[in-house]
Homo-oligomer: A and B are copies of this chain.
Amino acid sequence: MELFANINTNDLFKDRPQSKKEYIRSNLFSDVKVPFREISLTGNKQKDKPQHLFVYDSAGAYSDKDININISEGLLPIRKQWLLNRKPLQQCSTQMAYAKKGIITEEMEFVAIRESNQNLHLREENLERENRLNKNLANSPLPKKITPEFVRDEIAKGRAIIPANINHPELEPMIIGRSFYTKVNANIGNSAIQSSIEGEIEKLLWSLRWGADTVMDLSTGKNIKETREWILRNSPVPIGTVPLYQALEKVGGIVEDLNWEVFKETILEQAEQGVDYFTIHAGILLPYVSLTKNRMTGIVSRGGAIMARWMTKHHKENFLYTHFNELCEIMRYYDISFSLGDALRPGSIADANDEAQFAELKTLGELTKQAWSFDVQTMVEGPGHIPMHLIQENMDMQLKHCHEAPFYTLGPLTTDFAPGYDHITSAIGAAQIGWYGCAMLCYVTPKEHLGLPNKDDVKQGLIAYKIAAHAADLAKGHPAARAWDDALSYARFHFHWEDQFNLALDPQTAKNHHNESLPEERNLHTPYCSMCGPRFCSMRISSQIYNTNQN
Contact = CB atoms under 8 A, between A and B. Distances in A.
Interface residues of A, number: 129
Contacts of A435: 388-389
Contacts of A431: 388, 414, 428
A447 interface: yes
A349 B474 contact: yes
A518 B450 CA distance: 10
A72 interface: no
A88 interface: no
Given A431-B428, A516-B454, A530-B451, A414 B475 contact: yes
Contacts of A450: 510, 513-514, 529, 531
Contacts of A133: 349-350, 352-353, 387, 390
A532 B475 contact: no
A305 B542 contact: yes
Interface in A480-530: 482, 484-486, 488-490, 492-493, 500-501, 503-506, 509-510, 512-514, 516-518, 529-530
Contacts of A294: 126, 129
B474 A546 contact: no
A120 interface: no
Contacts of A353: 132-133
A306 interface: yes
A297 B500 CA distance: 14
A248 B543 CA distance: 19
Interface stretch (A16-24, A57-65, A272-280, A419-427): A419-427
B493 A296 contact: yes
Nearest to A471: B414
* Majority-rule SS of A interface residues: helix
B220 A416 contact: no
A352 B485 CA distance: 12
A549 interface: yes
A29 interface: no
Interface stretch (A74-82, A144-152, A190-198): A190-198
Interface string A380-420: 00000101111011000000000000000000001111111
A467 B421 contact: yes
Given A126-B294, A415-B485, 5 more contacts: A289-B545, A388-B432, A389-B474, A418-B466, A451-B514
17 contacts: A137-B389, A220-B533, A248-B535, A298-B493, A302-B541, A305-B538, A415-B470, A420-B509, A421-B467, A424-B463, A449-B500, A449-B529, A449-B531, A450-B531, A451-B514, A451-B517, A452-B517
